[in-house]
């Protein structure tokens, strides 16, 4: 692949976008950025400071983008906060419950968007960037812009299997997260104009990966 191909991928939790994004980055020899982990890392940091995630004013005052250090290696995804590896901690229930509130704070989104754009612009081989506002806000000029989704039942079953959790509880959590993400005032989860929608409900992971790789190669000539 020629240098500096940027692939922007949005979608809700459980849609398969993370697995697809990592696999596509690996196959095409690109970097990979999980923007959701950056908001989780910021949430972890805020909670470590003892700040209520619902106190938007204090969250905004305390947020620091330069502490967030995501890996862009698709074979070794992870993230550090001020040099500390928090890749496991950010997947815990406390962070999961708090991340929607922290990510809705405009100052936090501004800091993260600027950092995400900087990482993407500095990527030499090109990069796959996945999240919830990549196509519309972070990288609206990316040559490949996709929205990966699936029906609620499929998403809940996938996420429950992933986490070893109960399906009904998982589906309720996903619905709550979807509502928070799609109704927030700043950068809500939505299908950006011009983004190509891929519904993975009845697709195998390998099929989705192959489709995205084909789309990327076609866009890159």
Domain ranges of the chain: 5-216
Beta bridge partners of 126: 5
Domain 5-216 in CATH 3.90.1200.10? The answer is no
> Does residue 183 carry a pLDDT above 80?
no
Start-to-end CA span in the chain (Å): 9
Please say whether the dihedral angle defined by the alpha carbons of residues 33, 38, 41 and 45, taken in this order, is positive or negative: positive
User: Are the beta carbons of 134 and 35 closer than 8 angstroms?
Assistant: yes
13-22, 75-84, 125-134, 174-183: least confidently modelled range: 174-183
Q: Give the burial string for 56-91 (b: 16+ CB within 10 Å, else e).
A: bebbeeebebeebbbbbebeebebebeeeebbebbe
Give the model confidence (pLDDT) of 18-46 as tens digits.
Answer: 999 999 999 999 999 999 999 999 999 99
- Mean pLDDT computed over 118-134: 95
User: Are the beta carbons of 127 and 32 closer than 8 angstroms?
Assistant: yes
SS3 content of the chain, % helix, strand, coil (to 5): 50, 15, 35
User: Are the beta carbons of 126 and 28 closer than 8 angstroms?
Assistant: yes
């Amino acid at each position: 692949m020629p240098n500096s191909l940027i692939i922007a991928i949005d979608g809700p939790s459980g849609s398969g976008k993370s697995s697809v994004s990592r696999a596509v980055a690996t196959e095409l020899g690109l970097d990979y950025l999980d923007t959701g982990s950056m908001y989780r890392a910021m949430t972890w940091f805020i909670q470590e400071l003892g700040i209520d995630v619902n106190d938007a004013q204090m969250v905004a005052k305390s947020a620091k983008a330069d502490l967030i250090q995501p890996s862009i290696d698709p074979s070794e995804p992870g993230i550090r906060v001020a040099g500390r590896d928090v890749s496991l901690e950010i997947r815990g229930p406390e962070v999961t419950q708090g991340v929607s509130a922290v990510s809705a704070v405009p100052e936090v989104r501004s800091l993260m968007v600027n950092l995400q754009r900087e990482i993407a612009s500095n990527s030499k081989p090109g990069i796959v960037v996945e999240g919830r506002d990549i196509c519309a806000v972070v990288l609206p000029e990316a040559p490949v812009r996709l929205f990966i989704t699936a029906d609620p039942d499929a998403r809940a079953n996938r996420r429950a299997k992933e986490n070893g959790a109960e399906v009904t509880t998982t589906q309720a959590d996903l619905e709550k997260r979807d509502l928070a993400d799609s109704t927030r005032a700043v950068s809500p989860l939505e299908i950006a104009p011009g983004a190509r929608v891929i519904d993975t409900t009845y697709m195998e992971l390998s099929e989705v990966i192959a489709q995205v790789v084909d789309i990327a190669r076609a866009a890159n000539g």
